[in-house]
Amino acid sequence: MAADGLFPLPAPPRRQLAPGAVHVPGWLDPPRQRQLAAACRDWALGPVPARAAVLPGGARMSVRTVCLGWHWQPYRYSRTADDAGGGRVAELPDWLADLGRAALADAWQDHAAARDYRPDTALINFYQGSARMGMHQDKDERSDQPVVSFSIGDSCLFRFGNPDTRNRPYTDVELASGDVFVFGGPSRFCYHGVPKTIPGTAPDDSGHQAGRINITLRRTGLAD
């Protein structure tokens, strides 16, 4: 139970997959989902446009991504989008960092850890059609603060693995519109991926019918 307020709040339904890795279904209510979806579509228009990043081997990712705070390209962060027109990325708004802190507090049921959470970047992924994401680690950050993920629109199959290999053991979970998934602590550098989205599953009131949006908040630990 959260012990911060005058009255303890009931813990949201949550499932821990591994220490530090927690799924909280339905954490974002529909108005929040709609607000986030609209904001993401705006950010996708500029100052840096959403783009499908190209991997060092030449393959293009199937998701389109736009970033806030710091621009990510495989495999580094910069303030300017050198692979997407060269513009400077939009700021990460305080309200989005606050939302990440609140989600972390509920997921971990640890208000002290959440208070210290200082995300400085958001990666916003747009999945359409058969877009997917292979197993990978989020390891371009120089901080071990947790990753907080929000999902909006179509559901997906999310595969959460282990820190050592992209293969088994892993656990498959369905992430639906409004779900939060947090991975930090001993799970921070676990492999994970999205083998597929499930078209046609976006709730009518999610505000996004054109596939799936995922937002991950992170701390890069980088300074200008």
Ligand X SMILES: O=C(O)CCC(=O)C(=O)O
Contacted by 149, from ligand X, Fe ion, none: CB < 5 to 8 Å by type: ligand X
Contacted by 73, from ligand X, Fe ion, none: CB < 5 to 8 Å by type: none
Choice between 5 and 57, CB closer to ligand X: 57
Choice between 111 and 199, CB closer to ligand X: 199
* 27 near ligand X (CB under 6 A): no
* 138 near ligand X (CB under 6 A): yes
* 138 near Fe ion (CB under 5 A): yes
Residue 142 near residue 221, CB atoms below 8 Å: yes
Choice between 97 and 182, CB closer to ligand X: 182
Q: Which of 33, 121, 145, 149 binds ligand X (CB under 6 A)?
A: 149
Footprint of ligand X (CB under 6 A): 123, 125, 133, 138, 149, 158, 175, 192, 194, 214, 216
